[in-house]
Amino acid sequence: MNSDQLKYFLAVAKYLNFTEAAKEFYITQPAISRQITELEREMGAQLFVRNTRNVYLTKAGELFLEDAKKILSIEAGSRERIRLADSFHEMSLCIEYLLSPCEHFLPEVVNRFHQIYPQVEIKLVRNDAKGVSEAIEADEADIYFSVITDLKKTQNYAHQVIYEDFYCLVARADHPCLEQTPIDYEKVATEPFVMYDPKRAPLMSHQIMQVMRKMGITPRVVQYCGSLEEILVCIKAGLGISILPQRTQYGQAGKLTFVPLKAGTSDVGISMGWKHNTGNKAVEWFVNVINELIKERPELF
């Protein structure tokens, strides 16, 4: 039994006509008949009933039909994997990302991608929002994960929203400003704030200031930080409170309290960006993998 015989068998099963099946492969009707007879001999069963009027599958032929399709599908998949392994043995994929907003999903995505395409060399580069923007300008990576607002302004890049978010007031779990319900925002306005450095995260800093203006708060900033991790450390140390995206609370249970704010803003969340018409096939594969995971495991995102 060989793949040609299986293809001939499927063609005869489709047309229920040996002459029409032979035309599909540009061979003669006697030639395809001989191949089917040989296949039946090897299988030890008659696959078709042939008479002067009709051709139809026997019970054995009906059972073998699905198996033949599976065998050819497995063979085609194996050939494709071998072809890809040979063609992308030197392929690489560089991913620039923001750590805290991506740490709950990116490792799983990269792991799935690596399982499917083990020959693609993956490089992960952690950066802050400004660093990711600069990397895009310099075309340093293939895939970028950053805040929605930053990626929306890029030209010649496709982008996809991975998740949307909203802003929260963030403080130590034992902070006195959280004792009152509802929150007394006049009291909050007197608290020291730890904020993003506008030079390192200009768009997010602008968004947060918009939220605070809506709340009628002019923050007393005691420290500007270059990264989210620094802000979280300062809050835990009791140096101040802050306003941050809700997803920041990942891994902070029992340490910090996040109170959702009514005065929100749009475009809060994380997007994935990649260059239009990139010559790197691995980019397309990565986008497909993350979209498959979004469908399979939405709780990750």
Count CB neighbours of 298 within 10 A. 9
- The mean of the pLDDT values for the chain is 90
Count CB neighbours of 111 within 10 A. 12
pLDDT of residue 266: 61
Q: Does 167-260 match 3-79 at the fold level?
A: no
| Closest listed residue to residue 242, CA positions, set 201, 299, 300, 181 | 201
Mean per-residue pLDDT, 214-243: 94
pLDDT of residue 101: 87
Count CB neighbours of 101 within 10 A. 23
Tokens of 10: 């499927």
- Between 27-31, 91-95, 103-107, 225-229, the lowest mean confidence (pLDDT) is in 225-229
State in Å, rounded, how far the first CA of the chain is from the last one.
47
Residue 285 pLDDT greater than 90, yes or no: yes
Which contiguous run of DSSP H or E holds residue 146?
strand 143-147
pLDDT of residue 234: 97
CATH-assigned architecture of domain 3-79: Orthogonal Bundle (1.10)
pLDDT: which is higher, 84 or 114: 114
* Confidence band, pLDDT 50/70/90 cuts, at residue 203: confident
- Between 114-123, 127-136, 258-267, 276-285, the lowest mean confidence (pLDDT) is in 258-267
Mean per-residue pLDDT, 8-20: 94
Residue 251 pLDDT greater than 90, yes or no: no
Per the DSSP assignment, residues forming a β-bridge with 192 are 220
| Closest listed residue to residue 195, CA positions, set 160, 154, 230 | 230
pLDDT of residue 88: 55
- pLDDT single digits (tens) 58-105: 999 999 999 999 999 998 888 877 776 666 556 899 999 998 889 999
Cα 88 from chain centroid (whole Å)? 20
Q: What is the pTM of this model?
A: 0.65
Query: Helices in 158-249 by DSSP H: which ranges?
Result: 185-188, 202-214, 228-236
| 75: alpha, beta or left? (left if phi > 0; alpha if psi -120 to 50) | alpha
pLDDT: which is higher, 183 or 273: 273
Count CB neighbours of 41 within 10 A. 10
Choices 3.40.190.10, 3.40.50.720, 3.30.420.40, 3.40.50.620: CATH for 167-260: 3.40.190.10
* Confidence band, pLDDT 50/70/90 cuts, at residue 254: confident
The domain ranges of the chain are: 3-79, 92-160+272-300, 167-260
C-alpha–C-alpha distance, residues 207 and 150, integer Å: 12
C-alpha–C-alpha distance, residues 102 and 228, integer Å: 12
Q: Regarding the domain with residue range 92-160+272-300, which homologous superfamily does it belong to in the CATH classification?
A: Periplasmic binding protein-like II (3.40.190.10)
- Between 21-25, 60-64, 139-143, 151-155, the lowest mean confidence (pLDDT) is in 151-155
pLDDT of residue 47: 95
C-alpha–C-alpha distance, residues 5 and 26, integer Å: 14
- pLDDT single digits (tens) 154-187: 888 999 999 999 999 999 999 988 777 788 888 8
Which contiguous run of DSSP H or E holds residue 167?
strand 167-172
